[in-house]
Amino acid sequence: MKTSKTPPSEQPSPNEIARQTARFRALIAKPTPERLRSLVSAGHKQFERSLAANPTRQPVACRMGCDHCCHLYVSATAPELMVIAEHVAAWPDERRDALRSRLDAALAVTRGLSPVERVRLSHPCPMLEATPQGGVCGIYSVRPLNCRAYASFDAVACERSTRERDPDAPIPVPKINMRTRRLLSHCMREALSDRGLDGDSHELIEGLSRTLAQS
Query: What is the predicted pLDDT for the residue at 132?
Result: 76
Report the SS3 class of residue 122.
Answer: coil
pLDDT band at 110 (very low <50, low <70, confident <90, very high): very high
Distance (Å, whole) CA 128 – CA 67: 8
Residue-wise pLDDT tens digits, 46-76: 999 999 999 999 999 999 889 999 999 999 9
Category of 22 on φ-ψ map: left (φ > 0), alpha (ψ -120 to 50) or beta: alpha
Distance (Å, whole) CA 127 – CA 102: 8
Secondary structure element (H or E) that encloses residue 200, with its range: none
Distance (Å, whole) CA 191 – CA 39: 10
Q: Average pLDDT of 109-125?
A: 96
Q: Give the mean pLDDT of the chain.
A: 94
| Whether the predicted pLDDT of 2 surpasses 60 | no
Distance (Å, whole) CA 166 – CA 105: 23
Q: What is the pTM of this model?
A: 0.92
